[in-house]
Amino acid sequence: MALPKRIIKETERLMAEPVKGISAVPHEDNLRYFDVTIEGPEQSPYEGGVFKLELFLPDDYPMTPPKIRFLTKIYHPNIDRLGRICLDVLKGNWSPALQIRTILLSIQALLGAPNPDDPLANDVAQKWKEDQNAAIETARQWTREHAKP
Amino acid sequence: MNTVLCRSDAVDGTSTPCLPPPATPSYMVDHHVVEGIEERPALAPHTDTDARLLVRLIQCRQCSKPFSSPVTMPCGHTVCQRCLPAPQRRVNISYPQTLDHQLGILCPVCGQENSTADCNVDVTVSKIMALLVDYVSRWTAKHAEVVLTLEEVPQPPNDALISEKEMKGHVAQYGGGRLAGTFQMAVDGLLDYWADVAYSKSPGCEKDDLEDLDLDHFNSLRDAISTEMDCMVCYNTMLDPTTTPCGHTFCRHCLMRTLDHSIICPVCRRDVYLSPSLLYQPKNHCLASILDQVWPEVVAARKHTVSEEERPEGALDVPLFVCTLALPGMPCFLHIFEPRYRLMMRRCMEGNRKFGMLMYNQASTSQGDLGVTRFLEYGTLLHIVNFQLLPDGRSLVETVGVSRFRVIEHGMLDGYDVGRIERVDDISLGTEKRLEATEVGTAQSQAALYNAQHPPVPMTAANCPELLTTIELFQACKQYILDMRARSAPWLSERLVRAYGDCPDDPATFPYWFAAVLPIAEEQKYLLLRTTSVRERLKIVYMWIRRIEGQRLLLPRCGGYIGNILATCMGGFHASLTAFISTS
């Protein structure tokens, strides 16, 4: 099936005007599948880390959101062990006016502002609430170990 | 609209001899009836008429100035926010019960009453206006030396007799060429919406290549606003622009698809109270005219591409609904709620109203040449008899089986399956006869041999359907139906008849009817779809009956147990069915 114009345009724009700290490159054999990297935002426990993600645009994209998952291990209350992300815009709050670029920016923002009150990884969220400093330290350590640039 | 056409026609070339021969005032022509690009008049922004036409596209009909805070009403017309008439209280409106729905605004263009809640600033037209004002003023400053004298040529309504004085239009001098001058004249309130313009070079203006200048200006303006003309959903130039009450515009089919998934506006997330079928929602006339005028070739190309895209790719031309078992000649009632199937149904209704119904391949068995697919390879082509769209976008669909088919090739289109199918027909009657003769003959001679040895269980029609002729099989099955009816209440059979018709007298179609009313596993009924001989189908049905009867005989104390279950199942199922039919 031919690739919709929208996906072609989005890909072109991602290549032509990349977002700082974010890259998304489509696979040559499947232009709906992207290799994504996101740099940890400054002033966050993820600073200095480069996180790998996979992104897939389903058949009825942009009517349904892209499917995204962290490949790099990350210690975050809204990201579980399998890399799945708890983010409203990836679920019910998706809108076809959003795009790959805005979604990746939202994920980067989520790294800068973890929300332990709406957790996906319960154990991490628990730690985050009980002892925030220790949790942040763990996140830093995981970033150093797993998210080497 | 037609009156407008007449007005311009009456004047062109008569009172303003400086104008070129009367060009069709194409911006008023409904381009939906125009096929192909060639027939459309090419736009010539460097000519007097078209310079005037272009500016009229963004002039408010009320104040004649270029739109300022434009509002596009649900009727599709656009005026400045300040030009909206005062809201009036609407009577006999109780839902939704908010103040702004109690108040209505009469559209100054068409007179339709729109609720004030739905009259919001049109985001796209606003952005375009901001860009135009900016670009025109910069252009005028850059080419201030090209001064033209513009004379407004008023067009009196309905050929009324107007005195010389009233006919006299405004005269003003503007720099920047025809397009910029006309725009500026409208900004200054010196150009009536209906009026034409006569252009002449002011004394001292030495510019010779005025045409090139206007063309350059037109191109720069077109490039400036082109990105605003992209739909936020498909990223293409908008096709049939349709505006939400919150003021955001999308291609009509993109907005439809979005509303299949959610009732909120994709851009601002406000609830969009629009009918699920947007077919009758007026388009945004202002944007549609701009697109048709400025990008006629793009609009034509988009129409072509969309009609291609909506059609399943290449040979995969049949939409496939993987859901349940449907049988030829039998009705199938569906409740459509999934967004992808809402889209599929809409396309079916626009097309030939047919789609294929397939069952899920629950056991993940290999389907012939297709390998393991999520559906079983044999299905029934359904024709939509009755389509009822519910207010929330779901629909109740009444279909009837047309023919059986096998999937040859399949793919996906916007989330649902599509395929190339091959019709499945019965073997010829000649072959059918030969098959019967051979089978009955062989079975009878074998049974005679076997039974001569006095076995404990002799071979009879009860355990060997091959002994019976096709008509005997049919009659045995039919007798079972009669027995069943005698056992259950008469109203039950009435309901059955109402939903599925009376028991057919044709042995070829009887098994489908029987399968439709018999509450046994669908996987068993599926066998009928792939059986291409009448005799084989009857044998399948006969064996079902033997099995049901056998179970009944094994449970003598629960006399009529299976029969009763059968009757109860049928009753419950058909009660709901009848309720559905009587409502639709």
- Residue B61 amino acid letter: R
| In contact, B80 and B125? CB cutoff 8 Å | no
Number of separate domains in chain A: 1
Answer yes or no: do A96 and B415 touch at CB < 8 A. no
B49 and B171 inside one domain: yes
CB contact under 8 A, B339 and A63: yes
Task: Report helix, strand and coil shares of chain B as percent, to nearest 5.
Answer: 45, 20, 35
Q: Which helix (H) or strand (E) holds B241?
A: strand B241-243
Is B112 part of any domain?
no
Chain B CB contacts of A93 below 8 Å: 269
Q: What distance in Å separates the CA atoms of residue B377 and residue B360, rounded to the nearest whole number?
A: 10
pLDDT tens-digit series, residues A45-66: 999 999 999 999 998 899 999 9
**Alpha-carbon span B51 to B183, nearest angstrom:** 9
Nearest C-alpha neighbor of B405 from the set B317, B344, B477: B317
Amino acid identity of residue A66, one-letter, is P
Contacts of A10 in chain B (CB under 8 A): 235
Whole-number pLDDT of residue B581: 40
Joined tokens for residue B144: 């201030």
Which residue in B266, B411, B412 is closest to A95 by CB distance? B266
Domain boundary among B168, B196, B228: B228
Contact B109, B79 (CB under 8 A): yes
The angle subtended at Cα B533 by Cα B532 and Cα B537, nearest 5°, is: 95
- The β-bridge relationship of strands B318-322 and B354-358 is parallel
Give the integer Cα–Cα distance in Å for B235 and B560: 65
**Pairing mode of beta strands B78-80, B113-115:** unpaired
Which chain A residues have a beta carbon less than 8 Å from that of B257? 63
Q: Say which CATH number the domain at A79 has.
A: 3.10.110.10
CA diameter of chain B: 126
Residue of A nearest to B258 (CA): A63
Could you tell me where the beta strands, DSSP code E, fall in B468-547? none
Q: Does A28 touch chain B (CB under 8 A)?
A: no
The residue ranking higher by pLDDT, B434 or A40, is A40
Residues B417 and B564 placed together within one structural domain of the fold: no
DSSP H/E element including B389? strand B378-389
Tokens, residue B409: 């090739």
**What are the two backbone dihedrals, phi and then psi, of residue A26, each rounded to the nearest 5 degrees?**
-75, 150
pLDDT of res. B32 = 39
Nearest to B359 by CA among B406, B392, B393: B406
Read off the pLDDT of each residue in A40-44 and give the average, rounded to a whole number: 93
CATH number, domain at B322? 2.30.130.40
Q: At what angle do helices B178-187 and B210-226 cross, to 10 degrees?
A: 60
Burial B502-540 (b: 16+ CB within 10 A, else e): ebbeebbbbbbbbbbbbeeeeeebbbbbebebbbbbbbb
The residue type found at A81 is: R
> Which residues 52-71 of A are in CB contact (within 8 Å) with B?
58-60, 62-64
Using CA coordinates, name the residue in chain A closest to B260: A63
Using a CB-CB distance cutoff of 8 angstroms, which residues of chain A are in contact with residue B417? none
Least CA distance to A9: which residue of chain B?
A: B235
Does the distance separating the beta carbons of B415 and A6 come in below 8 Å?
A: no
Of B528, B536, B534, the C-alpha closest to B512 is B528
| Cβ contacts of A95 on chain B, cutoff 8 Å | 262, 264, 266-267, 269
Residue B71 token pair: 């509002």
- Chain A: closest CA distance from residue B198 (Å): 44
Answer whether A102 touches B (CB < 8 Å): no
What pLDDT sits at residue B312? 57
In three-state form (DSSP H/G/I as H, E/B as E, the rest C), the secondary structure along A109-120 is HHHHCCCCCCCC
Rounded to whole angstroms, the Cα distance separating B386 from B370 reads: 33
Retrieve residue A75's tokens: 């210690």
List b or e across B35-71, with b for residues whose CB sees 16 or more CB atoms inside 10 angstroms. eeeeebeebbbbbbbbbbbbbbbbbbeebbbbbbebb
> Which candidate in A8, A63, A64, A98 is best for mutational testing of the B interface (most B CBs within 10 A)?
A63
Q: Token pair of B221, please?
A: 């303006």
Smallest Cα–Cα separation from B419: which of B374, B383, B362? B374
* Contact status of A9 with chain B (Cβ, < 8 Å): yes
The H-or-E segment that residue B481 falls in is helix B470-487
CA distance A47 to A50: 8
Residue where one domain finishes, among candidates B424, B458, B487? B424
Last residue of one domain, picked from the residues B180, B202, B228 = B228
A6 touches chain B (CB under 8 A): yes
Query: Would an 8 Å CB–CB cutoff place A17 in contact with chain B?
Result: no
Residues of A classed as catalytic: 86
Do the beta carbons of residue B201 and residue B149 sit within 8 Å? yes
- B150 falls within a domain: yes
B261 contacts A64? CB cut-off 8 A: yes
3-state secondary structure of A90: helix
Chain A to chain B, count of Cβ pairs less than 8 Å apart? Answer: 48
- Do B394 and B482 lie in one domain? The reply is no
pTM score? 0.70
Q: How many CB atoms lie under 10 A from the CB of residue B420?
A: 16
* Cα gap B174→A70, rounded to integer Å: 61
Q: Residue B233: its chain A contacts at CB < 8 A?
A: 6, 62, 96-97
Please state, in angstroms and rounded to a whole number, the distance separating the CA atoms of residues B79 and B61: 7
**Which residue has 């355990």 as its token pair?**
B463
Q: Tell me, yes or no, whether B472 and B378 share the same domain.
A: no
Give B340's contacts in chain A (Cβ within 8 Å): 60
Is the same domain home to B45 and B160? yes
- Which domain range does residue A86 map to? 5-147
Taking 50 as the pLDDT cut, the residues of chain B under it are 1-40, 555-584
CA B10, B11, B17 angle in degrees (round to 5)?
140
What φ, ψ does residue B334 adopt, rounded to 5°?
Answer: -130, 145
A111 vs B19, higher pLDDT: A111
Of the candidates B303, B301, B302, B336, the one whose C-alpha atom is nearest the C-alpha of residue B319 is B336
Nearest residue of chain B to residue A10 (CA atoms): B235
Cα distance between residue A121 and residue A81, in whole Å: 7
pLDDT at B19: 35
Tokens at residue B292, please? 């048709």
Best of A3, A60, A93, A99 to substitute, by most chain B Cβ atoms within 10 angstroms, is: A60
Report the gap between the CA of B262 and the closest CA in chain A (Å).
9
Chain B CB within 8 Å of residue A95 CB: yes
Are B51 and B193 contained in the same domain? yes
Chain B residues whose C-beta sits inside 8 Å of any chain A C-beta: 232-236, 254, 257-258, 260-262, 264, 266-267, 269, 313, 339-340, 411-415
Comparing C-alpha atoms, which of A22, A44, A25, A43 is closest to residue A33? A25
* Cβ contact, residue pair B257, A4, below 8 Å: no
Q: B164 lies in which domain range?
A: 4-84+119-228
- On whether the CB atoms of residues B450 and B459 are closer than 8 A, the answer is yes
Searching chain B, which residue's CA lies closest to the CA of residue A62? B233
Whether residue A16 lies within 8 A of chain B, CB to CB, comes out as: no
As to burial, measured by CB atoms within 10 angstroms (0-12 exposed, 13-18 middle, 19+ buried), residue B437 is exposed
pLDDT at B560: 41
Give every CB contact of residue B498 below 8 A, 6+ residues apart in sequence. Answer: B578, B581
Query: DSSP 3-state assignment of B318?
Result: strand
| Number of domain units in chain B | 3
Residues in A touching B313 (Cβ below 8 Å): 1-2
Q: Which residue of B has its CA nearest to A1?
A: B313
Query: How far B279 CA sits from the closest chain A CA (Å)?
Result: 20
* Interchain pair B260, A64: CB under 8 A: no
Q: Looking at beta carbons, which residues of chain B come within 8 Å of A91?
A: none
Q: Are B331 and B325 in contact (CB under 8 A)?
A: no
Q: Verify cis geometry, omega within 30 degrees of 0, for the bond prior to B96.
A: yes
List the single residue in A with minimal CA-CA distance to B249. Answer: A97
Mark whether B368 and B488 lie in a shared domain. Answer: no
